[in-house]
Structure 1
């Protein structure tokens, strides 16, 4: 721990208040799937301040320490009930900040961020101040580097709420005093860091610059005491929020640099969850496996899964929008919740989960939508179908309705749905989240599951069983075709279907010849 005076060097004194904005950049809000109508805030203790060059500890037993590069405003003249037009006159200077947060404690805080963002060293500031009178608050550039690689790069032109509006809004509620600090939010790109990582943040305004605010992450040795208070707990929701996306959170377990921007050696120390620490052994849908699955009817796959004890693997109540459509692909998931006006207002507009899912679906993937079997509105229309088709998606499966059904059918991508409906999404649904396990048509679908669809419906194939099941189904199809030929030539089905010993011997003999 640095000496207490060092923590306040850049400010010249200990601030009375540190206020932070929850969501302020368009890029971050859209990443989170909600655009707030007005700014909201939380407080951080002044004991959380640190100087450039300081270390931050990731506490023992935790995994989700995340950085947030931000612009910090330092109040000059006290402000109370000031207008947005006059608010910037009350800002003396600005500097770079890093609003660190420990997502393992976020759920326990229930929105207050007292523990998750109040730790010692969780608010580095500096290294230099920029005179607020010398810059345009709408033309500031913010950048963050992790281990020398740029991970955040945005400008205040991309703010939902101008900096002056934030100052004016806070001044409605209490007096902003000289030396108070306002952390003005972070753009997209915030993610998890691990011991050994170096995070740098810099703010530039033309010829003016704060220089790089440098913080090194180190491993703490002292765990939290459960006898005193609640313990850290990380779940999939917090991992997704901390890493920035479900894909990045999943990739962190395998060190996939394409998603996390981190090498395998930088993967975080996870909790003791056997599922999270287990290697991912799910096979990839190879071209060879895909070709075999394309030859097998869904009914044959269903029969083979049933012999292996899997009966609840069909997506019930959905049918091909265009008869004759067939597909094979891996699941990419999208979840809708029942419509609620306030939730739709917060998460239904802008670059919401529905739009993100259609923009993210990859070549050969099936976009699977959980709509709870609700047919009273569309879950997609022709524009989104065109987008999925352009991305190379194998199909779209929804247990809800489809809007613009004829136009969607004309796009050419296989769509399996509960039926057409003219109403827009917001009549029945709130677009909620992507890339999570969902329930569609009465069965659970996980991202990466293999789906096959044809005129009989859609089946979910666990990847670990895919090769075994398709080989058995192909063998059964060959046998059934031989039986069908015998029946067509006039033989009765008794003893032939299923085959008795005599017919079995004849079949095996003909196969060998």
Structure 2
């Protein structure tokens, strides 16, 4: 990439220019409209782009970039192309989570560092017909965009002439000429490639493939400094390209949206439940020490008999998990609902992309073990996000591979089938049923070799302290049994044994056998 492209004086981008994109959006502009992008947004082939923490709708846009070769001011349509020095590929990346806040200016939604990769090679503009250029985009090797400048609403020369009547275009300035249909959301780990070429020109000149890899950011936006990311169904639909691709049943709603990437409630969906605060390190350590059998016994003493997530066991022998619940709900398979909710960035993908460190994804699969509810790719994503584990009352695909990843998963066992055999991913962060237990976001989940249980957050401190105290008592009783004492009167302790136990202060670990 030349020095001119590496630091252009101006980057001007057009909002909507291809007929295919206009048809997709359902609106066709009468005249071109533009926005500026900062020079600091330029990236190079082989670089990375960060999806910021707390966002979900980073989208790629394969575009043809024009690099101005000679100064242009109030040039005619006929002479405009002669002021273009070169043509190359660009990726006009945008973060739809900030789009509504910018109200068309795109300052934050498209101005991020690395949001304008360019290159890698320049095509001499004198050697190509501006009406016969092609732009293509691939995501992870799959062709997503393929269109030519014959499909433009506004010819390339018109953009140069129009802009030049408003301000001077200087050598090195870059014009991003819009994207065709096919732009969509990309997620961390995706690799995007853009290529511009002139297949009918002599030598079929090409820009080469402009390669960008998506990474995940870990620094959230500060609410004290400015507006936060917010999404609604309209932004999801436009980011993904359609309501179907976004995994939405109906057309987009245009409510105020929800900040921090939390899905707003939609008609016919349960209201999201606000999760409780994360566990403190001290409380987590206590829960890791306490067995589920002891914890459930203390819950029963307090009138909670429905704490058991029945029918699940760990994929890794000896695994113990403790965390707060992040819930995911599947509903029974139905063809039309799977078509509207099963594809695109569906509820299942959103849950695994948004799980936070220390959380446990709890899945409602209605106790149906005859299909998988996750596999190795989603397990890798959960582990990378720092999830404490997964509990599902359904099956698991890639069972051995998931275990090798090291992510503890409690399930009904292995099953090779894909999700769509029995389930439609429906909701996240709502109250669900898993293994016969009601689970809300933020509930405390503990699992070990005896199974898995759910603890209401309001009871967890009391329950875990009582369970640990009982463990000390049970250990003392075990010592007496090992020494030859009969269990009658000892387990549970009668008044005599209780007095001896309390006198010996077993909590200090210094008791003597009787």
| Matching residue of 1:415 | 409
Residue 355 of structure 1 is matched in structure 2 by 349
Q: For residues 310 and 501 of structure 2, what CA distance do their matches in structure 1 show?
A: 36
Which residue of the partner structure matches residue 92 of structure 1? 30
Equivalent residue for 2:294? 300
- Judged with a 3 Å threshold, the aligned counterparts in structure 2 of structure 1 residues 339 and 151 are, in CA distance, closer, same or farther, namely farther
- Structure 2 SS opposite 1:93: coil
- State the match for 2:207 in structure 1: none
* Correspondence 1:145 to 2:139: no
Contact 2:276-2:441 at 8 Å conserved across structures:
no
Note if contact 2:275-2:441 (Cα within 8 Å) is conserved in structure 1: no
Q: Matched residues in 2 for 1:281 and 1:372: separation? A: 22
Which segments of 5 or more consecutive residues in structure 1 lack a partner in the other structure? Answer: 1-69, 74-81, 97-133, 168-183, 189-196, 200-239, 252-274
| Distance across 2 between alignment mates of 1:293 and 1:88 | 54
What's the CA shift for 1:246? 8.2
Query: How big is the shift at 1:440?
Result: 0.8
Q: Which of the numbers 500, 505, 509 marks the counterpart of 2:499?
A: 505
| Matches of 1:485 and 1:369, distance apart in 2 | 41
Cα pair 1:282 1:464 within 8 Å, conserved:
no
- Cα 1:492–1:355 change in 2 (3 A) is same
Match of 2:310 in 1: 316
Q: Residues 490 and 497 of structure 2 are in contact (CA less than 8 Å); yes or no, is this contact kept in structure 1?
A: yes
1:492 aligns with 2:448: no
**Contact 2:102–2:108 (CA under 8 A) maintained in structure 1:** yes
8 Å CA contact 2:16, 2:29 repeated in 1? no
Q: Shift in Å at residue 462 of structure 1?
A: 1.1
Give, in whole Å, the separation in 2 of the partners of 1:436 and 1:161.
40
Equivalent in 418, 421, 436 of residue 424 of structure 1: 418
- Which residues of structure 2 form unaligned runs of 5+? 1-13, 35-79, 81-90, 116-135, 138-143, 154-180, 186-225, 229-252, 265-270
Give the drift of 1:510. Answer: 0.7
Deviations 1:5-38 (A, max 9, x none): xxxxxxxxxxxxxxxxxxxxxxxxxxxxxxxxxx
Determine helix, strand or coil for the equivalent of 1:508.
helix
CA contact (8 A) 1:330 1:364 kept: yes
Cα distance, 1:322–1:144 mapped onto 2, change above 3 Å: closer
How far, CA to CA, are the matches of 2:377 and 2:263 in structure 1? 29
Aligned equivalents of 1:403 and 1:495: distance in 2?
49
User: Which residue number corresponds to residue 377 of structure 1?
Assistant: 371
Change (3 A) 1:386 1:250: closer
**Cα 1:89/1:301, change in 2 over 3 Å:** closer
Q: What residue in structure 2 maps to residue 325 of structure 1?
A: 319
> Is residue 467 of structure 2 the alignment partner of residue 473 of structure 1?
yes
Give the alignment's Cα RMSD to 1 decimal: 5.0
**Change over 3 Å in CA distance of 1:398–1:71 after alignment to 2:** same
Q: Does the C-alpha gap of structure 1 residues 411 and 299 become closer, same or farther in structure 2, counting only changes over 3 Å?
A: same
Change (3 A) 1:430 1:160: farther
1:93 CA displacement: 3.0
**Whole-angstrom CA distance in 1 between matches of 2:446 and 2:300:** 16
Shift of 1:282: 4.6
Q: CA deviation at 1:354?
A: 1.3
Asked if 1:440 corresponds to 2:434, the answer is yes
8 Å CA contact 2:102, 2:109 repeated in 1: no
Residues 275 and 442, structure 2, Cα contact 8 Å, conserved in 1: no
Deviation at 1:350, TM superposition (A): 2.2
Q: Sort the Cα spacing of 1:335 and 1:88 in 2 relative to 1 into closer, same or farther, 3 A.
A: closer
Displacement of 1:332 in angstroms is 1.1
In the superposition, the TM-score normalised over structure 1's length comes to 0.51
Matched, 1:403 2:411: no
Equivalence for 1:286: 280
Note the 1:6-155 alignment, pairs <5 A.
91-93=29-31, 144-145=100-101, 152-153=109-110
Question: Could you give the per-residue CA deviations for residues 86-106 of structure 1, whole angstroms, max 9, x where no partner exists?
Answer: x9998523669xxxxxxxxxx
Secondary structure of 1:451's partner? strand
Say whether the 8 Å CA contact 2:277–2:442 is kept in structure 1: no
Residue 367 of structure 1: how far off its partner (Å): 1.0
Q: 1:334 aligns with which of 325, 328, 345?
A: 328
CA contact (8 A) 2:93 2:110 kept: no
Q: Deviations over 1:276-311 (max 9, x none)?
A: 9x9x89553100000011011001000111111111
Q: CA deviation at 1:503?
A: 0.5
Q: Counterpart of 2:30 in 1: which secondary structure?
A: strand
Change beyond 3 A, Cα 1:335–1:424? same
Q: What is the CA distance between 1:323 and its match in structure 2?
A: 2.1
